[in-house]
């Protein structure tokens, strides 16, 4: 668990599927994620299961973001391993040493515009650099997702290049190089 001034980042539990489903059901939240389409409740259940499985198998994964003042779940932030040869997410232990570690964030629309994404991403970044110790952290951001680009810049990431995921989705690769993190 990580605590910031306004947030708690904690490991996911099955009951978190309700809050994740709220975000997954919002077309504005999903506009730049996955295939851009909203998903059913089952997708939220699978997402929570996937976050939990990543923690069990890799020792890192997604956190649920909770507002401290009232306990409302705002979304998720955390880490995912990607195979850079085909840009498919997976388990780092299966991908191997070439795995890229992504720091990503998804918050419900009710949390937008208040700095929560940046606050959560900064806390996760610092934890990830210390605990996971990747050669660098990346974020894959849809080329039109200006809000996420601003968060990436605020946490020290810089645009590097365009990539296409295994599903054919365009993304910008933003990265915080190891030397940037220690400077």
Q: What is the pTM of this model?
A: 0.90
Cα gap 25→123, rounded to integer Å: 27
Q: pLDDT tens, 35-72? A: 777 887 888 888 899 889 999 999 999 999 999 999 99
Structure tokens at 16: 């978190």
Q: List the chain residues with pLDDT less than 50.
A: 179-183
User: How big is the CA angle at 36 (ends 31 and 42), to the nearest 5 degrees?
Assistant: 110
Rounded distance between C-alpha atoms, residue 32 and residue 39, angstroms: 13
pLDDT of residue 183: 46
| Domain count across the chain | 1
pLDDT in tens, 137-151: 999 999 999 999 999
Give me the domain span that covers residue 96.
Answer: 2-182
CATH number at residue 33: 3.40.630.30
- HEC profile for the chain? CEECCCEEEECCCHHHHHHHHHHHCCHHHHCCCCCCCCCCHHHHHHHHHHHHHHHHHHCCCEEEEEECCCCCEEEEEEEEEEECCCCEEECHHHHCCCCEEEEEEEECHHHCCCCHHHHHHHHHHHHHHHHCCCCEEEEEECCCCHHHHHHHHHCCCEEEEEEECCCCCEEEEEEEEHHHHHC
């Amino acid at each position: 668990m990580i605590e910031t001034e306004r947030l708690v980042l904690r490991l996911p539990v099955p009951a978190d599927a309700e809050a994740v489903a709220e975000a997954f059901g919002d077309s504005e939240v999903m506009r730049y994620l996955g295939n851009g389409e909203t998903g059913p409740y089952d997708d939220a259940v699978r997402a929570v299961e996937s976050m939990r499985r990543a923690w069990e198998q890799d020792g890192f994964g997604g956190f649920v973001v909770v507002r401290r003042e009232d306990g409302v779940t705002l979304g998720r932030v955390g880490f995912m391993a990607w195979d850079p040869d085909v840009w498919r997410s997976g388990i780092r232990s299966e991908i191997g040493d070439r795995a890229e570690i992504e720091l990503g964030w998804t918050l419900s629309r009710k949390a937008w515009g208040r700095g929560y994404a940046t606050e959560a991403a900064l806390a996760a970044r610092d934890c990830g650099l210390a605990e996971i110790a990747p050669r660098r952290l990346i974020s894959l951001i849809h080329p039109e997702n200006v809000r996420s680009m601003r968060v990436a810049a605020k946490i020290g990431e810089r645009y590097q290049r365009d990539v296409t995921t295994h599903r054919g989705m365009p993304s910008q690769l933003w990265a915080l190089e190891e030397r940037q993190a220690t400077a």
